[in-house]
Structure 1
Amino acid sequence: MSLELLFQRRSIRSYQDRPVEDDKIKKLIEAGMAAPSARNIRPWHFVVIKDREILNKITDIHPYSSMLREAPMAIAVCGKHSEPYWVQDCSAAMQNILLAATAQGLGSVWLGIYPREDRTQEVKDLLDLPEEISPLGVTAIGYPNETKPQKEMYEEDKVTVIE
């Protein structure tokens, strides 16, 4: 993977009316599962959501998720919340999914669920997750209906060098 991919990834909120192919979805999940994990516990659980009714219901739970009304799918990245590093492990998995989406010509945006208790419980109930599994976030995924230029994000004042 070239570093250029990191800089090309942007939050995409508008999608074409076109389904994402199953082989691309599998690659997204494989990328999530390739993330680093503390003690190799791999506490993650992925829910692929293609059901239009469920995608629309998430927009009733999450106030900034309106793009799910046109996204053809989403992936909920969830984890076994009894594991001490589940948030870090699942965040790494989510980032891998976002990068894999960009690499495959797809657009995506990360919608935070955890640690908002109201969102966490409502999404958990909606997805019928087992008691020990909690949603970290949902990413809307689809073929982009918008293009965004790369943006310079480097801020020198946020870097400390200790020599």
Structure 2
Amino acid sequence: MEEIFKRRSIREYQAKNIEKEKIEKLIKAGVAAPSAGNQQPWHFIVVQNRESLNKIAEIHPHAKMLKEAPLAIAVCADLSNLKYEDYWVQDCAAATQNILLEAEALDLGGVWLGVYPDQEKENPLRELFELPENIKLLSIVSLGYPAEEKSPSDRYSKNIVHSKSW
């Protein structure tokens, strides 16, 4: 549970590659997310190529940190043959959050870069990733060894908790 409270968005990274074993753990964390009807619609694109990371940073207006990051993971969904079609967003959001929590557990830093439902971001990224028509891109997670420290943030407020009704 400690990772939930310690996790912060990290946008500055050390010039250090992430080990293959840690990348595998990040993907396994994504796959461990819950999904509607256990459909597990997710697919992950691991991006380590500097040219590709820089291209994503040019396309996505909030992804400038990818020019320094050693790794990005694109979280996608295969929409073909889904019984619960409208739940892929929640499924892939849960996978994205799991990746971020595992990053914290592995002493990595990361930040969630939203893509869906913004077509201005999604369309050029679809082209870059050569996504088939049945694949949707929900998010990209920028990852690396942190070059910045942030204190845990306590966002709890009694004002947002309701009992029985609003």
TM-score (norm 2): 0.94
Q: Kindly indicate whether residue 127 of structure 2 is the aligned counterpart of residue 129 of structure 1.
A: no
How big is the shift at 1:151?
A: 1.1
Of 93, 96, 104, the match for 1:94: 96
Amino acid at match of 1:104: L
What's the counterpart of residue 42 of structure 1? 40
How big is the shift at 1:81?
A: 3.6
How big is the shift at 1:27?
A: 0.3
Amino acid at match of 2:119: E
Partner secondary structure for residue 64 of structure 1: coil
Aligned equivalents of 1:13 and 1:119: distance in 2?
Answer: 19
Q: Percent identity?
A: 53
Aligned equivalents of 1:157 and 1:114: distance in 2?
Answer: 30
Partner secondary structure for residue 140 of structure 2: strand
Aligned equivalents of 2:140 and 2:149: distance in 1?
Answer: 21
Superposition pairs for residues 34-73 of structure 1, below 5 Å?
34-73=32-71
The runs of 4+ residues in structure 1 deviating greater than 6 Å are none
Aligned equivalents of 2:6 and 2:70: distance in 1?
Answer: 22
Amino acid at match of 2:136: S
What's the counterpart of residue 27 of structure 1? 25
Structure 2 stretches lacking a partner, 5+ long = none
What's the counterpart of residue 155 of structure 2? 153
Aligned length: 161
TM-score (norm 1): 0.95
What's the counterpart of residue 10 of structure 1? 8
How big is the shift at 1:84?
A: 2.2
Amino acid at match of 1:159: V
Structure 1 stretches lacking a partner, 5+ long = none
